[in-house]
Amino acid sequence: MTHPATTPPLPAATVRSRVRVPLAFADGYRVEAEVHTFHGLADGAEHLALTLGDPSATATPLVRLHSECLTGDVFGSARCDCGPQLRESVQRIAETGGHLLYLRQEGRGIGLYNKLDAYALQDSGLDTYQANTALGLPEDGRDYTAAAQMLAALDAPAVRLLSNNPDKAAQLTALGVTITERVPTGVHLSPSNLRYLRAKVEHTRHTLDLAPLVG
């Protein structure tokens, strides 16, 4: 996993545009988001920030870093928990006020085609991390420098981080973001993603309590 250096200051990013977008989910939940685009992000990718609710109502807005997952977010793939996490996060952030950063990091940073190649290897018995390694790719290639820049541009130097992944908190802290609390998401378990979630717990210490659900 990539861990950025703590000493050099982050180059400043700025908000490029803001637009109101009404969101409607398949289960009927609706909410309005203010979608931000940015200039000057370190990796040059077209990341988005969705502001939900009223972040100014709290000193530490609730924030989720959500990595793009076309298969889960758009097509409803049950091989991962990304789609349900996205749906949950939007509502929880809207209720308290905060930001959802939608990061263009498909497949933990390896890209869509490579992710699908990794799926084929998982079908032969490898877990999600072993499959990436077998392809000569990093287990997790994500760098959250751009996310820290986005939070600075949104005037959110201290946040409550909605995440089960300790690496996100570690990277943001190293980049100068204050994490006042790490708030876990729910456990979105299905027969198709059990091996995937177990690998997250065993390999990268994600805070997912699977025992009550599979015991």
Residue-wise pLDDT for 112-168, tens only, equals 999 999 999 999 988 888 899 999 999 888 999 999 999 999 999 999 999 988 899
Considering the candidates 64, 140, 143, 160, report the single residue annotated as catalytic. 140
Q: Rounded to an integer, what distance in angstroms lies between the CA atom of residue 92 and that of residue 84?
A: 12
Tokens encoding 48: 């988005």
- Please compute, for residue 142, the number of CA atoms within 13 A of its CA located in the half-sphere on the CB side: 23
Considering the candidates 142, 143, 160, 209, report the single residue annotated as catalytic. 142
Instruction: Tell me the three state secondary structure of residue 213.
Output: helix
**DSSP structural state of residue 143:** -
Residue 135 has a pLDDT of: 94
To the query of whether residue 140 is one of the catalytic residues in this protein, the response is yes
Dihedral, CA atoms, 19, 182, 196, 29, nearest 10 degrees?
A: -40
Residue 100 has a pLDDT of: 98
Whole-prediction pTM = 0.86
Helix, strand, coil % over all residues of the chain, rounded to 5: 35, 25, 40
Question: At CA 42, angle to CA 37 and CA 150, rounded to 5?
Answer: 40
To the query of whether residue 167 is one of the catalytic residues in this protein, the response is no
